[in-house]
Amino acid sequence: MTDHHLKLHPAELARKVLNYYLTNGRMPELPDPLPPEYETRAGVFVSLKKAGELRGCIGTFEPARDNLAEEIAVNAVSAAVRDPRFPPVSKTELPDLDLSVDILGPVEKVESKEDLDPRQYGIMVHKGSRSGLLLPDLEGVDTVEQQLDIAFRKAGIAQHEKAELYRFKVTRYPEQRN
């Protein structure tokens, strides 16, 4: 990959990395130095959809890599080939997928569900070693109760159990395909 690829929209970067990985069986080398917009660190989720249905989604709540470009690259590949809910994506399937990259903002603890809004905030619930995360503004998740129910189930936490609640905003970069 050359420098001009990294100046692309984050979802385009994810697609280029994924195409390279599915073609060559390994991660591409990212240029050094990186353009400034990719030198920051943040949690990132990459979502893949096929005909409007989820096909893979993997991410990191907190940054796990040295920079945003690496975070996007690793999570794009993981969403395609390591999401345990789906079989790995094939190279021939890639043109049928729509990609979206969510870059997570700072996390803040909340004391009450009144501080939540499923359109504006993603949430994380946490109790002991169990945690569940749900991104904001998801189709079919219209109420705080729906958002909490899904996050609690993902975490394996019963609804009656007391859990810590966190919220965060995301900047969503859906793919701009013609």
Sign, Cα dihedral of 2, 4, 10, 11:
negative
What residues have CB less than 8 Å from 109, skipping those under 6 apart? 164, 165, 166
* Closest alpha carbon to 16 in 99, 129, 113: 99
Is the confidence at residue 176, as pLDDT, over 90?
A: no
The domains found in the chain, sorted by start residue, are 3-102 (3.30.700.20), 105-170 (3.30.1490.150)
pTM above 0.85, yes or no: yes
d(CA 132, CA 139): 18
Pairing of strands 130-134, 164-174: unpaired
Q: What percent of the chain has pLDDT over 70?
A: 94
Average pLDDT rounded to a whole number, residues 51-80: 95
Using CA atoms, how far residue 137 sits from 76, 77, 120, in Å, is 20, 23, 7
Q: Is residue 6 pLDDT above 60, yes or no?
A: no
